[in-house]
Chains A and B, each alone.
Chain A
Amino acid sequence: MSPHATRWLRNRAFLGVTALAVAVIVFRVPSLDREDSALLSGWVLVVAILMLVLFNVRKKLPFIPLLTASTWLQFHAYVGVFAAAIFLLHTHGRYPDGVLDSFLWFFFVLLALSGFFGIWLSRVLPHRMRSRGEAVLFERIPVYRARLAAEVEALAAGSVKESGSSVIAELYSARIRRFLAGNGSTIGHIFESRRALNGVRRDMRAIERYLPPAGRECLAAIDERLIAKDGLDYQHALHSLMKGWLFVHIPLAYGILPLIAIHIILFYAFGRI
């Protein structure tokens, strides 16, 4: 069977099982009394959340043949959708009253939203990351950036001798050096803004008329490197976003577990209707 067919079949199987499970719960819960329905939906939710956490456990055990991580991710995504549906049933779509339940509600909603956001990011960002230059390793970006900065500095310094003019060197001191320092605007890059790059290039175009042919060549070489630096900033921003969302999702996932445990204990201790 081709990889495409295997993947198609696997995903449809997950979809079918999830839909069936949701349908069973949705039809079953309303027929129960209030306590039984809360118990059923609550325990199903607990099991679903534990299954979701198992994905991270699988990631820690790459040397054990426990299905592929991509199968686990699909499973994770569908169980996540299923858990969200059960959560709505369990809470009757309402915001809870107590402090603990409010925390739990917030944690779950944020967890679910960050999960859906992560899926969206994983579908959208890889393609965007390739749209500006060759893909680079996140850890190497500072090295490449430093190399570009050094090259531009050398070009600017050399331009004084080669073109007999200090125009480029002055612009470098006043404007370009600042652009080359740091990561640029992460938020700006995430939203596809090119304001910083366009600004510095505009200033470069403005001095072009004062330069001899050698100076213009130097300016073109600098321009090439500024575009490359902007591409690196862009990749850095998207990589940061891709890695950063996990710093929200995973702590929430581990944070919700003790809250669930307390919720269950309190329910059995005091909450029976």
Chain B
Amino acid sequence: MTTAADADELVFEDDPYDAGLTEAGIDRVLALPLFRSVDPTRFPASKPLRELIRNHARIDKYERGQVIVRKGDYGHSAFVVLGGAVGVVFDFPLDLPTSAESTAKRSWFSSLSQLWRNATVPEARDTSRYLKRDEWGLRYREGQAQGLFLRNIEQFIGEHKIVELHNGDLFGEIAALSRSPRTATVFAIASSEILELRWTGMREIRRRDEGFRKFMDERYRNRNLKNHLAESELFKNLGEDVLSQIAAATQFETYGSFEWHTSYKRQMASKDLGRALDEEPAIASQGDYVDGLIMIRSGFARVSERLGEGHRTLSVATNNDVFGLEEIEDHHAGRGPLTLRRSLHAIGYVDVLRVPTALVEQYVLPNRAAPPESARGDGEDEDERPLDQGLVDFLVDRRLINGTKAMVIDTDRCVGCDDCVRACASAHDNNPRFIRHGPEHGKLMVANACMHCRDPVCLIGCPTGAIHRMADDGRVVINDDTCVGCGTCANSCPYNNIRLVEIRDRDGAFVIDENTGAPVLKATKCDLCLGQLGGPACQRACPHDALVRIDIADQEGLADWVNR
């Protein structure tokens, strides 16, 4: 059977990362110290190492001052320096500066002035803003809308602490492997040649070659794992030595497809959502021996139990949730066997840590005061479960549980007055940023508004980092000034919540790209009324309490709202 992950890879095989990668280029990649020890015999004939490199690698040239990765970007690939030198800077601002009116909290007068200052034509922009990009220390490559450049490289190097990387050095692999934002900005100090390896290829090599896996895991272990464990409720009270011991024994695993939106869209088109679970890779299965405590590092997973011929979804496990703790506790207390009572399946893409059971029993259980939030199904009694099974299936099968600020509408209360749409438009220069329509289950509708996902796949591949997650509150926003309208985010959004619009100047004339003669496009979506007083206008504008912005994975909160 072809799984979703396999199917995605098949797509990639038809879509090489760099169609111009030559045989000599592949030889050059394979000769790197990182790949020299990889054993080609470990790879099946259908997917040899050389083909993996051909499909997932690309070699790019970067000019002095050109930004390679930006702090805060959602990376999907790792890089190796092939020639030249790059600089790593940690104290570069996370967010690109944006125009003051889009990010700063408005004053009361400024808010009120929207009454008369809002544009009378759709998608009007103050185009003079786009000419000020240089003021941020960034500029676009002449004649191309690809890549960002540091304006005054000498001054920049003088003002920041830079770590230099040279031939053969690897960077960006932790963010790519752990699906987390880049922690540093990397730029070319001199003209450089850089190998970029797509995550999918890296995962495949890691899966097949033990040496490569050990190398990658060791880097992750040394740089991130201990800190991550220390942040968890379960491990935070343990000493440094014990944490080191646990980190050394913890396995790092990934499941599902990094770019899961491809298979998701296919699944939605097929409308066979009842079989959604069959497509999801099993992380742990009911009845399996509990060899370790599973901790979700990123992404989300379905907790289910067998019912008849299928599986009944109980809940969703997300970041820092643990799975299998109850079983370990019960076994430790002599109350039951060490076998899983439920299954855990990866929905989309999931990173997990597997902490050996023996270590949990030895160090965690004796020091545990109160049970942590556990991914165990939120109550086994049917009556105690906050949401009905049909609604849980609807939210999980459609992966709506990805939304941390989804727009949910109670259609039993919604009278279709469109006050929410008008309020949204008023707060966005007379342009509504959502559609009051979307998938429905019973009386609930999840409208086509950006959900500010916990796993925002729309961020993957943005060439300028215009779409990004804000560091302070996690909302996903688009920097209109740096968006180049390429449509990558709109194509990647699994829920079709990003729209490309043709922009106009304040007089209503379309803004035309001088090079192509076509109207300039910008990606737009809900930004939760960034900069507006009082938060999302849509929610506050609903006279019937029919609309809420809510974290769908929070079943208790959703149930409170649904049953109010």
Contacts and interface: CB of A to CB of B under 8 A. Distances in A.
Interface of A: 2-4, 7, 59-65, 68-70, 72-73, 121-122, 125-127, 129-130, 134-138, 140, 239, 242-243
B112 A4 contact: no
B437 A69 contact: no
Given A64-B112, A126-B411, A126-B413, A135 B537 contact: no
Contacts of A70: 542-545
B334 interface: no
B333 interface: no
B426 A63 contact: yes
B548 to A, nearest CB: 8
Q: Secondary structure of the A side of the interface?
A: helix
A4 B562 CA distance: 9
A226 to B, nearest CB: 23
Contact of B560 (A2, A63, A73, A242): A2
A7 B545 CA distance: 9
Contacts of B114: 63
A122 B415 contact: yes
Q: Which residue, A68, A135, A239, has most C-beta atoms of chain B within 10 A? A: A135
Interface string B522-564: 0000000100111101011111111010000000000011011
Contacts of A7: 545, 564
A137 to B, nearest CB: 5
B531 to A, nearest CB: 10
Closest 9 pairs (CB-CB, A-B): A65-B534, A62-B423, A4-B564, A73-B543, A70-B545, A69-B543, A62-B537, A62-B541, A3-B564
B417 A63 contact: no
Given A70-B544, A135-B440, 6 more contacts: A2-B560, A59-B419, A62-B537, A72-B543, A121-B415, A243-B416
A137 B445 CA distance: 13
Contact of A63 (B411, B532, B546, B548): B532
A60 B115 CA distance: 8
Contacts of A68: 539-542, 545
Given A62-B422, A70-B542, A73-B544, A136 B560 contact: no
Interface in B401-424: 411-417, 419, 422-423
A130 B443 contact: yes
A61 B115 contact: yes
B103 interface: no
Contacts of B532: 63
Contacts of A63: 106, 111-112, 114, 423, 426-427, 529, 532-534, 537
Contacts of B539: 68
Contacts of A140: 437
28 contacts: A4-B563, A4-B564, A62-B422, A62-B426, A63-B423, A63-B426, A63-B532, A64-B111, A64-B534, A65-B533, A65-B535, A69-B542, A70-B545, A73-B544, A121-B415, A122-B415, A126-B412, A126-B416, A126-B546, A127-B412, A130-B412, A134-B440, A135-B416, A135-B437, A135-B445, A140-B437, A242-B415, A242-B416
A110 to B, nearest CB: 21
Given A2-B564, A4-B564, A242 B417 contact: yes
Contacts of A60: 115
B332 interface: no
Nearest to A118: B415
Nearest to A8: B564
Contacts of B426: 62-63
Interface range for B = 35 or more
Contacts of A136: 437
Contacts of B548: 3
Contact of B415 (A59, A72, A125, A137): A125
Q: Which residue, A62, A130, A134, A243, has most C-beta atoms of chain B within 10 A? A: A62
B61 interface: no
B416 A129 contact: yes
Contacts of B561: 3
B440 A4 contact: no
A137 B440 CA distance: 13
B543 A64 contact: no
B560 to A, nearest CB: 5
A69 B413 CA distance: 14
Nearest to A67: B540
A239 B416 contact: yes
Q: Which residue, A63, A137, A138, has most C-beta atoms of chain B within 10 A? A: A63
Nearest to B110: A63
Nearest to B427: A63
A220 to B, nearest CB: 21
Contacts of B541: 59, 62, 68-69
A125 to B, nearest CB: 6
A221 to B, nearest CB: 19
B35 to A, nearest CB: 53
Contacts of B427: 62-63
Contacts of A64: 108, 111-112, 533-534
Contact of B437 (A2, A72, A127, A137): A137
Nearest to B556: A2
A244 B564 CA distance: 29
B102 to A, nearest CB: 14
A121 B115 CA distance: 30
A240 B414 CA distance: 14
Q: Which residue, A64, A136, A242, has most C-beta atoms of chain B within 10 A? A: A64
B537 to A, nearest CB: 4
Given A69-B419, A69-B541, A69-B543, A130 B115 contact: no
B403 to A, nearest CB: 18
Contacts of A122: 415, 544
Q: Which residue, B111, B415, B427, has most C-beta atoms of chain A within 10 A? A: B415
A245 to B, nearest CB: 10
Contacts of A72: 543
A201 B544 CA distance: 38
Contacts of A73: 543-544
Interface in B234-289: none
Contacts of B440: 134-135
Contacts of B106: 63
B213 interface: no
A271 B416 CA distance: 46
A38 B9 CA distance: 81
B436 to A, nearest CB: 7
A60 B114 CA distance: 11
B560 A4 contact: yes
Contacts of B417: 242-243
A130 B415 CA distance: 11
B543 A126 contact: no
Contacts of B419: 59, 62, 69
Contacts of B423: 62-63
A184 to B, nearest CB: 18
Contacts of B563: 4
Contact of A62 (B411, B540, B560, B564): B540
